[in-house]
Structure 1
Amino acid sequence: MSAYRLLPGLVVLCLGALVARAIGLTVGLNHLLVAIALGFALANGPGVPDRLRPGIETHKLWLGAGIVLMGASLTLEAILEVGATVLLVVALVIAVTIVVVEVLSRNVFGLAEQLGSLLAAGASICGVSAVVAVAGAIRAREDQIAYAAATVLLFDAITIVVYPIVGGLLGLSDVVFGVWAGVSMFSTGPVVAVGFAYSEVAGQWATMTKLSRNALIGVVVLAYASYYAQQGEGGRPSIGLLWAEFPKFVLGFIALVILASAGVFSSAQEATIENAYNWLFLLAFVGLGTEIRIAELRNTGVTPAIVVLVSLLLVSAFSLALLVLLF
């Protein structure tokens, strides 16, 4: 894709980031949430013209780049202090989420098996990306993929608003809130936005926790592919598919954590990198806001939404109680 096609949308992202920063400084609102609100207003007001879409759709690239650079502000020592505990919580919550969604889908609400599995993957790992990855392994229908993706996006929009409010009301510490958001919310963008809206430390822990969940996408895809293959309804995923769905920015993030731990970056360089990833997050969240479209959310089936709502309430309460006990 030529740079000329990307330029108009990139200009909109940059303008949105500047306006969000200005509003945040002037009014005292969190500039990352303002950025999402601006993108939301554009998508649900005048709409996003076709000529802007290619550039605006690069927001996932800027989010990934920001996450990579954030690795320079962390060290292995800081991560390892509670890293093993966080990984244990992540694995446990993923397992609980999958079981809860599958049981609700099949035994309580009577949804089709494939649709329930897509909802479980989206809720337990990384939102729409996990829905798409698992769909290819279990041969889900297009309408099932659409329902699952729309349901995930609906709750992404809801949790962006609700989680900071709940965290503030409960007076959660930065670490507890960050890990809670990272382990129980769905998609990477909303997790990072909510974490940094709460505090810098919460944002770092939310991002690290979410990355550890994302890295397990291959395990979940293989598990579902094996199950459905035994049922005669799925196929074995290729190495190419697993690599295509694996979040590459995890590797970049780890690389910069290692460099930071080795003392490669000076204090001035760390400050510059921190400023850079904050601006990249602003660009990404303006674009993220345009993905939240009211018209599409209205088309979400009621039953899938109820399944995910019940599971989200159960899993978020369970994970929060677990984290409060551990930390």
Structure 2
Amino acid sequence: MRSWFASEDWFAVWLGVAIVLIALPTAAGLDLLGWVAAPRIWLGPGDAVRPVSAHYAGLPGFVSLLFTYLLLLGLIGACAAIRKFDLRTFIPSFTVIFWLSAASLILGHYAYIAQTPDKRSATGITWSLGLTGEAGFLVALLSGLFVGNVLPSVAVRLKSAARSEWFIKTAIVLLGAGLGIKAAAASGLVTSIMFRGLAAIIEAYLIYWALVYFIARKYFRFSREWAAPLASGISICGVSAAITTGAAIRARPIVPIMVSSLVVIFSVFELLILPLAAREFLSNEPLVAAAWMGLAVKTDGAAVASGAITDALIRARALESGIAYEAGWILTTTTTVKVFIDLFIGVWAMVLSLVWTYGIERKPGVKVPVRDVLKRFPAFVLGYFALFLAFLGLTLARPAMAPGLAAATAQTEPLRGLFFAMTFFTIGMAADLKRLWAEGIGRLALVYVISLFGFIIWIGLAISWLFFHGAQPPIITGGP
């Protein structure tokens, strides 16, 4: 058990908790972490990075990014020293990985790549790919693939700090704190919306996941290692779900990362198509449309953007009939459904961990001690839940602290993005493209297309209709 607590999983927990504790004084007005570099949607390079807090608005972006590097170098370097890594090779390797990953993340925020359709006019552009800032993860993956497959000698030199699982597990731990605040904020919504959203999500999990897993296994002959993260990535919420599932079943890191990349790419098509379809066919059922965006669009950024576009399109269509819906309810419903989906990531990881331990990988006649289950269980999920429950409980018990706690967790978000970027870069660096193609990466995309457009979108629509049919936002003027 002592070795279990000293594992990479637990060091992800310690690292995530340390970052949250540094940010926490912000809730009391002491802004210790507001200088952390946050990438922004940009056209000019000077606007690409800004401190996350307005208190440090005068700090140049590059200086903010340099301080962010030094913070992570200190925290991760301390953990590396405790784990007895060779710091003479680890520190230079980590430095290169950080700066290449940060550059990829910033490039992915370029307006013509990242800006969503609802915000193009504010940026002064007329078109963009609409990939959201998560495009930075794709750029990081491509950069890593280039280094690993074209510059293999460089990849070997960087190997000592290429700790992809440590990076991603830390990012998942940090996610828990922010979700706790969001869940507490959602508790103030109309009870019927919360209940309907929660019921819809449970239905979607049970139906989506089983169908995708079945299709991947039976018709495309994927191994369980590929099928489970694929099912979670398509049916739940993309990047975080695929990676957490991969950890729960002990899949190779490249598996959930490739799934996550597909999720980001296909979310663009959903973002462009589904709000328009909602306007044409669901203008009389605005909250059905809102829930549909949350259930069907798989990345957080794209889902929220689709909710915002749907909100604007349906309210504009309703005004043509003299009905003025109160702004924000469609977007809020989409966001609430998406938050609930995110919360279930940890629950699903627990379920899969038990299924794999006691079912799929259990040998006949062999008892599995509880200690072995604990060793197998992804401990970073415990850190995720601990921070989620702590921030949820604190916000509900002290509502006056909610704005301060929200500001504190917001300061950890850019760091979570950097951990994701470093994960994608280091996994790309370790990936062999020839081997991936042999394992069926092309078939993986085909499963995604068939699942997404064959039944996920339509089942999501049916579930949204079942639970939200007849629910209406408040009407300001006019009436049906």
Q: TM-score range by the shorter chain?
A: 0.5 to 0.7
Contact kept, 8 Å, 1:126 with 1:213, in 2: the verdict is: yes
In structure 1, the partner of 2:121 is 24
Match of 1:307 in 2: 447
* Structure 1 unmatched runs, 5+: 49-58
Asked if 2 retains the 8 angstrom alpha-carbon contact of 1:114 and 1:140, the reply is yes
Matched residues in 1 for 2:174 and 2:308: separation? 16
Does 1:202 find its partner at 2:341? no
**2:315 is the alignment partner of 1:175:** no
- Quick check: which has more Rg, 1 or 2? 2
TM-score normalized with structure 2 length: 0.48
Does the CA-based 8 Å contact 2:173-2:381 persist in structure 1? Answer: no
Name the TM-score, length of structure 1 as normaliser: 0.67
Correspondence for 1:12: 48
> Aligned pair in 2 of structure 1 residues 7, 109: CA closer, same or farther (>3 Å)?
closer
Identity %: 18
What CA deviation, in whole Å up to 9, does each residue of 1:36-64 have, x standing for no partner?
568869x87xx99xxxxxxxxxx999999
Amino acid at match of 2:461: L
The aligned counterpart of 1:232 is 361
- For 2:208, give the aligned amino acid: T
Distance 1:167 1:222, change over 3 A: same
Q: Out of 94-103 and 161-170, give the one that drifted further.
A: 161-170
| Secondary structure, aligned partner of 1:225 | helix
Picking from 241, 250, 257, the partner of 2:380 is 241
Counterpart Cα distance in 1 of 2:345 and 2:281: 31
AA in 2 matched with 1:93: A
Look up the equivalent residue of 2:195 and give its one-letter code: A
Aligned equivalent of 1:53: none
Give the AA of the match of 2:295. Answer: V
Which blocks of at least 5 consecutive residues in structure 2 are unaligned?
A: 1-18, 20-31, 41-46, 51-60, 62-105, 144-170, 312-327, 364-371, 429-436, 470-480
Cα distance, 1:64–1:161 mapped onto 2, change above 3 Å: farther
Q: 2:347 corresponds to which residue?
A: 219
Match of 2:94 in 1: none
- Counterparts in 2 of 1:66 and 1:116: CA distance versus 1, 3 Å: closer
Does structure 1 residue 190 correspond to structure 2 residue 294? no
> Does the CA-based 8 Å contact 1:125-1:213 persist in structure 2?
yes
Identify the range of structure 1 (247-256 vs 107-116) with the bigger mean alpha-carbon deviation: 247-256
Map 1:40-189 → 2, pairs under 5 A = 76=188, 78-172=189-283, 173-189=285-301
Shift of 1:108: 1.1
Distance verdict in 2 for CA 1:72–1:28, change over 3 Å: farther
Distance 1:153 1:103 in 2: 23
Task: Give the Å deviation of 1:120.
Answer: 0.9
Shift of 1:94: 0.6
Whole-angstrom CA distance in 2 between matches of 1:82 and 1:243: 28
- Offset of residue 97 of structure 1: 0.8
- Equivalenced residues, count: 296
Say if 1:93 and 1:184, in contact at 8 Å, map to a contact too: no
Cα distance between partner residues in 2 of 1:176 and 1:151: 26
Change (3 A) 1:70 1:5: closer
- 1:135 deviates by 1.2
Q: Distance in 2 between matches of 1:97 and 1:157?
A: 20
Amino acid at match of 1:206: T
